[in-house]
Structure 1
């Protein structure tokens, strides 16, 4: 009996960097300085393993305006939902809890494929740049053999930019 090789993954192998960035002047062109500025929170290792959840729901509509024999499908409303799940430390060193208090605004930036230890650089591709407002932090229901944790919704407040490149400068 032989074992088949498992292909390396991208996200599960430490290839998904997630930041909370307080200020981005042009969300479609975030600069390297904005992504590395003081006040940026690197969420990557502060969350549970499945702690960053970004869902996109596209409501489509169909029309037969041009012909009765073919329905044309178009994108309608796009809804993005972002949720964080993190261990609850109960101390001031808990940067997610203290940095993302209810009402805090900024941007969630996610970079995929590039290894996490590689620093941000110009021309790197970001999978999303989402303007958000921090929502209510609530407890994860406790069960046996689980860590105490919290859930927080990041309420999307504007257009989510997808597949944008990091700009070199201002």
Structure 2
């Protein structure tokens, strides 16, 4: 019997990244439609470079042994989270994403929603892949690797992760 090919969804055009100030979200484990649509939030999806959002969790393994057992056992331990955000740099007319990510010491929740069109209006029942509480850190220049006129100037910021990262959070109506 042939196994059917499991079809996925194109990532192109199907992801949203929102920065929400800490004081605009009462409970990040139950964000409301109004909180995620608030005017103080910044949708930075198109303000990031193609490879500009790298959230990389590492699940550390705990290895243990048992008396007379000829093998070690392992199970999930702590999770180490890393987030890197890369964005275009424009000294003359900075973008909204650049202004937000370039200011050091600001606390945000970063909401990442995958599988929704970029212009999707948030509704109750939508699933948020990750909610990451961050404090913006120092932005640094990304070296121009190609050193030609076809590349953009870029900045990169690796924020401090200042609380528990939540996964598969559902948006509530109120």
TM-score relative to the length of structure 2: 0.85
Unaligned 5+ segments in structure 1 are: 1-6
3-state SS of paired residue (1:74): strand
Deviation at 1:67, TM superposition (A): 6.5
Deviation at 1:98, TM superposition (A): 1.7
| Structural RMSD (CA) | 1.8
Does the Cα contact within 8 Å between 2:9 and 2:115 map onto a contact in 1? no
- Alignment of 1:120 with 2:122, yes or no, is yes
Give deviations 1:38-57, integer Å, cap 9, x for gaps. 21010111111111111111
Give deviations 1:31-85, integer Å, cap 9, x for gaps. 1111111210101111111111111111111112477245332211211111111
- Counterpart position of 1:20: 19
- Counterpart position of 2:159: 154
- Counterpart position of 2:170: 165
- Using a 3 Å threshold, how does the CA distance of structure 1 residues 65 and 14 change in structure 2: closer, same or farther? same
Whole-angstrom CA distance in 1 between matches of 2:141 and 2:87? 10
3-state SS of paired residue (1:98): helix
TM-score relative to the length of structure 1: 0.87
Whole-angstrom CA distance in 2 between matches of 1:18 and 1:66? 49
Paired residues in the alignment total 162
Does the Cα contact within 8 Å between 1:10 and 1:112 map onto a contact in 2? no
If each structure's helix is expressed as a fraction of its own residues, which one has the higher value?
A: 2
- Alignment of 1:34 with 2:51, yes or no, is no
Worse-matched range after superposition: 132-141 or 19-28 = 19-28
Whole-angstrom CA distance in 2 between matches of 1:27 and 1:121? 16
Unaligned 5+ segments in structure 2 are: 1-6
